[in-house]
C-alpha cells in the first residue's frame, strides 16, 4: 500500500497494527525502495551519457 502512496499511518491502521515498531518497518522498506530507485536512475542516466 505504501508503494501506492498510502501513508504509513493509514496502512498500519488498515492492517490492524497497534505498535509503532511495526510502522517503522514500513518506513525502512520504503527508504530502501527509494534508494534503489535513485541507484537505478543514476545507472540509466550514466548509460544515456555514454550513448550521446
Which grid cell sits at 26? 514500513
Distance between CA atoms of residues 46 and 26, nearest Å: 30
CA proximity to 15, closest of 7, 5, 31, 30: 7
21 versus 51: which is more confidently predicted? 21
Domain boundaries, the chain: 2-51
The pLDDT of residue 6: 79
pLDDT tens for 21-49 read: 777 777 777 778 888 889 999 888 887 77
Contact present, 39 and 45 (Cβ < 8 Å): no
pLDDT tens for 11-20 read: 788 888 777 7
| Alpha carbons within 13 A on the beta-carbon side of 24 | 3
Distance between CA atoms of residues 14 and 26, nearest Å: 13
Amino acid at each position: 500500500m505504501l508503494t501506492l502512496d498510502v501513508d504509513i499511518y493509514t496502512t498500519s491502521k488498515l492492517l490492524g497494527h497497534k505498535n509503532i515498531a511495526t510502522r517503522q518497518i514500513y518506513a525502512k522498506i520504503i527508504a530502501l525502495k527509494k534508494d534503489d530507485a535513485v541507484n537505478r536512475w543514476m545507472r540509466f542516466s550514466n548509460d544515456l551519457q555514454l550513448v550521446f
